[in-house]
Structure 1
Amino acid sequence: MRKEFWLFLSCGVFFVIVTPVYWAVAHEVTGTVALVMAMLLFFMISFYLWFVTKAIPERPEDRKDGEIAEGAGELGFFPPYSWWPLFAAMAFGLLVLGVVFGWWMFIMAVPIGAICVIGWIFEYYRGAHAH
């Protein structure tokens, strides 16, 4: 994780340097805000990687003498297919359209979105993929 941390941190520092230069040359608000947001996102990811680096032991990829065989084993849990993200996205789209077209649609979309999010959260507690 240390290499990833330094990679994202250096990208964030790059945007710290580039953003004022862009503002001085272009005087354009939209691009400057986009560069500031990119800088903040890179710093947020680098903070997360720094925090995770302290919490986990050193990985074989981080050492110069690390062997490929040391990284063998289970890599993590990868969920199978799920339809709930599609329905949650459609409910969110209905929610946004409700703000545009009428509050009655917004009010109708809130319980649909709640059902979709609850189904997405609890999909591994029942059915073929239950734990």
Structure 2
Amino acid sequence: MKIEAKLFLYGILFFFPIGLIYGLWSDGEAVGTVSIPLVGGLVGMIGGYFALLARRIDPRPEDDELGEIEQGAGVQGTFSPWSWWPLVVAIAASVGFLALAVGWWLMVPAAALSVVGLVGWLFEYSRGQHAH
């Protein structure tokens, strides 16, 4: 996680000066002057999280400069290849973006569908009391 933390924390060194330069060159244009430093803050939060996470977990093969590809072999995670819940969430996002063009009333079914999709995706592998 150290390389990811550095990647995002170096973004602070880019976005804050660029935001300052943009604000000076654009005579204080409101949207860019505010949003570019905010992006710097966002990448700083992500980089800070990765830095804290890197201190808690053991070093990974990616963190070793002399690491070999074989060191990363094995199971990388649990994935559900036959899950339909990402499709439900994608449809909800599509309806939400459609609400921006058609009308805000479409945001209500989009929000309801997204809640259903996210809860279904979250509890997909639940067993026992919350099984479905």
TM-score (norm 2): 0.71
1:46 aligns to what? 47
Amino acid at match of 2:40: M
Amino acid at match of 1:66: G
Amino acid at match of 1:8: F
1:16 aligns to what? 16
> Which consecutive residues of structure 1, in runs of 5 or more, have no partner in the other structure?
none
TM-score (norm 1): 0.71
2:7 aligns to what? 7
Q: Is 1:82 matched with 2:83?
A: yes
Q: Distance in 2 between matches of 1:101 and 1:19?
A: 32
1:123 aligns to what? 124
2:25 aligns to what? 25
> Which consecutive residues of structure 2, in runs of 5 or more, have no partner in the other structure?
none
Distance change in 2, residues 1:45/1:101 (3 Å):
closer
Secondary structure of the 1:18 match is: helix
Shift of 1:39: 0.7
Q: Which runs of 4+ in 1 moved over 4 A?
A: 105-113
Identical counterparts, % of pairs:
37
Shift of 1:43: 0.7
Q: Distance in 2 between matches of 1:2 and 1:39?
A: 19
Distance change in 2, residues 1:7/1:112 (3 Å):
closer
Q: Give the number of the structure whose residues are more often helix, by fraction.
A: 1
Distance change in 2, residues 1:29/1:68 (3 Å):
same
Secondary structure of the 2:77 match is: coil
Q: Distance in 2 between matches of 1:69 and 1:108?
A: 48
**Which deviations, in whole Å up to 9, do the C-alpha atoms of 1:34-84 show, x marking residues without a partner?**
312321221122012101101111122322332333222222222324322
Q: Distance in 1 between matches of 2:109 and 2:67?
A: 56
Q: Distance in 2 between matches of 1:12 and 1:52?
A: 19
Count of residues paired in the alignment: 125
**9-18 vs 27-36, greater mean Cα deviation:** 27-36
Distance change in 2, residues 1:67/1:85 (3 Å):
closer
Q: Distance in 1 between matches of 2:59 and 2:33?
A: 38
